[in-house]
Structures are given as C-alpha cells and as structure tokens.
Structure 1
Amino acid sequence: MATSNPAFSQSPAFQNQSAGAATLSAENLQQMYESPSANAVDTDRMTVEDTIVKTAISFAVLLVGAVIGWMVPVLWIPASIVGLVLAFVNIFKNRKKPSPALTLAYAGVQGIFIGGISLFFEANWGGIVLQAVIATIVVVGVTLALFASGKIRASAKATKVFFIAMIGYALFSIINLVLIWTGANSDPWGLNGSVEIFGIPLGLVIGVLVVIMCAYSLVLDFDAIQQGVKNRAPRVFGWAGAFGIMVTVIWLYLELLRIFAISRN
C-alpha cells in the first residue's frame, strides 16, 4: 500500500512492489549479510569501542611521558603548570569540538608530571609506586565492572552530594597548603598528618572518602560516554570521554600515592 503522505508517495521505497521488492530484497539481504558491519569510521558516530581505543591511545602517550618524567624528574614542576593550563583548555574545547591533539598533549605533559612526582615518592617510600598503580587498576576495574553490570549508576542526588564534597575537599586542600607554605603547620602533610581521629591520621580518613569520590567520578565519566553514544554524538567526542577518564584516573593515582605515604609514616 502506498503511503498517503506526499513526502513519501513518489519514492519507490514506499511503493507496493511485491515481485520486484521480493527479488531486490533477496539479493540485497545476501549482500548485507556478507558485508562487514558499519563501524565508528563509517558512521562518524561516537561508540563505546572507539572511545576505548582513544582512551588506550591517551594512556599510552601518558605512559611515554611518565618514562620521560621518571628519567628527567626536574621537568615535573613546569609539566604540572602546563598540564593545568591544558586541562582548562581541553575543558573549554570539549564543550564545542574536542581536539585530539590537545587531548594527547595533555596526556603527554601529565605523564611527565606523574613520572617526576612518582620518582620522588619512590625514593622516599620504596615500592609505593607499584602499590598505587595496582590499587588504581583495582578501583577502576571494580568501578567499571559495577557500572557495566548495572549495579551502580549516576543519580541526580548522588551527583549533588559529590559536587558538594568536591567543593569542601578543594577548600580544605587550599587551607592545608596555606598552613604548610606559611609554616603554621610544620608537618609535611599539614593537617593530614598532624591531626588524628581515634588515632588515625586525618589524611587517611579523608583519603578513603576521596577515593570513593574518584570512583563516583568514574561513574559520571562512564555515564557521559554512554549518553554520548545514545545521542549519536560525532565520533570526535570520544576524545572528550578519554580526557575525562584520564583526569579522574590521574587524580585517583595521586590520591593513592598520598594515602600510602601517610600510612607508611
């Protein structure tokens, strides 16, 4: 039956062509069955698989940077500044159109920063880098498994609590840094090391809470990627997903380094 809509009435695809349609259908069906399925390149749409590839490439670049930072640790200070600038630039760019070059540049510079600061921690607390790496992989793996199984999801209420906790943690970190820089607190970790709760350093208590915050941040990252795929976002936005995961994983790794160092003391 031909459709009554004039927009379709002149199109052969919407006409009643029983014999011809049957022949075409049989031939095309075989061709469709034998041809490979369309991928992210063919459709230019964001997919989970393509985002995973982009994330893997980003972390490979970060690893190369980490090796450089480990070998030339003096670079970690300028790298931390450049990395912070690139982070804000990427955040701004990702709202419109992510830049693969900027994302990879951020990965490389942050890798140099990670490598230099990791060497410092390793020199003072032997074996701590391996501990932090393993713990980071475990947290990311468990969070991903829970998200993939549907056992944990982002919610409006949890996200609101998360952002409130983020603001509180940021304010505490700023105050703690000021106390250390001004000499008001002589402990190398500031309030994190000098204040105890039931005999447990404050840094460990806060550290556990921050690791939970990092895990939820990963959930938000995974959820954003999933939404991007559902909304058929352009393929280039996979770089935004890779950038988001990188930022969270780096934050998690640094926090675990600090937790293990305080616990060693």
Structure 2
Amino acid sequence: MESKNPVFARSNEWKAGYAGFDAPSSARRTPPADADARTLEDWYQRPPATPSQARRMTVDDVVVRTAGFFAVLLVGAGAAWYSNLGFGAAIGAALIAMVLGIWAQVSKKVRPGVMFAYAGLEGLFVGAISNYYTQAFGNGIVTTAVVGTLCAFGAMLVAYKTKVIRATPKFAKVLLIAVLGYVVFGLVNLVLSLTGVGNVYAGGGILAVGVSAIGVVLASLFLVLDFDHIERGVRNGLPVRESWRAAFGLTVTLVWLYLEILRLVAILRGNN
C-alpha cells in the first residue's frame, strides 16, 4: 500500500498502512492461540493501545481540512489582490511557500501550522498573479479559471470513481516521470526568460498553447493519485492526524491546476 504521491510518501503510515491492515506483524494485536470465543470477543473489543489510534481518518476529515486550507488561501489571495501586491513580493511569498511546502512534505511529523502558513503565502502569490492576469487580459479570466478547475476536479473524481482512470503503479510511475520532466522544462524556460534568450509562453502561439495544455492535463491527472491515496488512507484506518497530510496534498494539486488553467486561458485570450 505504498503511496506514490510525494506529499504522502514521507509518512510511514501511508507507506505501510495502519491499524494492522498492512502493518508489520510485530505491530498487530494478536490474541492468544488458545483463546476461547469469549476471550476473542473481549480481545477485539479492547480500545486501541494509544490515544492517537482512538479515531481514524475519514473523507469528511479531509474535506474539512482542505476547506480550512482554502479559507486561509483565499484570505491571502484577497489581501494580495486588493493591495495590488507587487510582483517581487509575490515571487518572494511563493518561494517561502515552496520551502514550507517541502518542509511539510519531508517531515515525518504532521505539521498543520506549517501547512496553514504555506496556504497563506501561496494565497498571496495566487492573488497577485490573478490580479495581474485580470489587468492584462480582462475581467472574467479568474472566474473562467476557477470554473475550469472545478470542472477538472469533478471530471477526474468521476473518472476515478467509475474506474475509467485507475491509479495503478504504472500509471503513477509514468505520471510522476512526466511531471518531473515538466518541472525541469519550466525551470529551463525560466532561466532562458530571465537571461533574455526567450520564453516559450511569450507571444502565445500553438507551442505555448500546447505546453500549457500539457500542464493542465498533468495537474488534472495528479488528482487521481490524490483521490487514490485518500481512499487508501481511509481504508487502511490511518489516524485522524494524517487527514492533514491528505488535505495538504489535495490543496497543492488544486492550486497547481488553477494556475495552469489560468495561464492557458490567458494564452488563448492573447491569441484572439
């Protein structure tokens, strides 16, 4: 049951399961071999060994925590929008958010405070970028990107639930390789842009549309991994604290998807 999502893969619970489903035999509670029926019933009715095992993660837990992250993100976005946050400050917030996001991912301990800080700083970046695109490409572009994000989320959820798209190990491996290649491409393009050599997205055109569309597809497909890992976590009986990690992973993917759709819509408007 090892998770293929990098946000979850750092946690031992996501790797090995919990509550005895996929845990090592030494961690499971095993009744005596000669126990009678009453003893067995008493054994399995015992409360968990530790308070942290008292409540298991549920889908509702993930939904509530995801909503909390987005509430903070929207506050940050609103602050950046109405204060006309400068581009430099927005990039600075994004870099700090990236560091916090990596910290939240690599830490074995679940850190809700770090995750909320990420959401607030990422909100500043999202709000500033959204404001920039609105001024450059006209009103309605943010609404279009939000609707597009919700539609992509719904489509991927339906595709996952109906098993049209399966989160198989091969699917996860290919997707992660593709995402890694896309990240490397983005870094190279950023360096070329800063050095004045050129920018793939500058001026629009078929190449810019194609590359941006690939980003939208990759972010959308990554939602399938998020859904799969959340479902596995619930099925494996992970402790409720792991719902923070699940919500954080979903939040990161949705923000990525929104930004990709926002850029694609801007390129399409610029080509008209």
**Alignment match of 1:108 (pick from 109, 120, 128):** 120
| C-alpha separation in 1, matches of 2:230 and 2:213 | 26
**Counterpart residue type for residue 58 of structure 1:** F
CA-based RMSD of the aligned residues comes to 2.4
| C-alpha separation in 1, matches of 2:40 and 2:90 | 65
**Alignment match of 2:225 (pick from 220, 223, 242):** 220
**Counterpart residue type for residue 209 of structure 1:** I
Q: Residues 1-265 of structure 1: matches in 2 within 5 Å?
A: 5-8=33-36, 11=39, 13=41, 43-72=54-83, 73-74=85-86, 75-93=89-107, 96-126=108-138, 127-185=140-198, 190-193=199-202, 200-265=205-270
Which structure has the larger Rg? 1
Please give the secondary structure, in 1, of the residue aligned with 2:109: coil
Poorly superposed stretches of 4+, deviation over 4 Å: none
| C-alpha separation in 2, matches of 1:223 and 1:12 | 34
Percent sequence identity over aligned pairs: 39
> How many residue pairs get matched?
227
Q: Which has the higher helix share?
A: 1
1:12 to partner: Cα distance: 9.2
Please give the secondary structure, in 2, of the residue aligned with 1:235: coil
1:151 to partner: Cα distance: 2.6
* Higher RCO (CA 8 Å, separation ≥ 6 residues): 2
Alignment deviations for residues 56-110 of structure 1 (CA, whole Å, 9 cap, x no partner): 11111111111111122134232112111111111112xx231221211111111
- Structure 1 residue runs of 5 or longer lacking an equivalent are 15-40
- Structure 2 residue runs of 5 or longer lacking an equivalent are 1-31, 43-51
Q: What TM-score does the superposition give when structure 1 sets the normalisation length?
A: 0.78
1:219 to partner: Cα distance: 0.5
Q: What TM-score does the superposition give when structure 2 sets the normalisation length?
A: 0.76
Please give the secondary structure, in 1, of the residue aligned with 2:238: coil
| C-alpha separation in 2, matches of 1:82 and 1:107 | 11
**Counterpart residue type for residue 157 of structure 2:** L
**Counterpart residue type for residue 51 of structure 1:** V
The 8 Å contact of residues 193 and 202 in structure 1, kept in 2 or not, is answered as: no
| C-alpha separation in 1, matches of 2:97 and 2:213 | 26
1:13 to partner: Cα distance: 5.0
Alignment deviations for residues 183-207 of structure 1 (CA, whole Å, 9 cap, x no partner): 112xxxx123468xxxx52121122
Name the residue aligned to 1:30: none
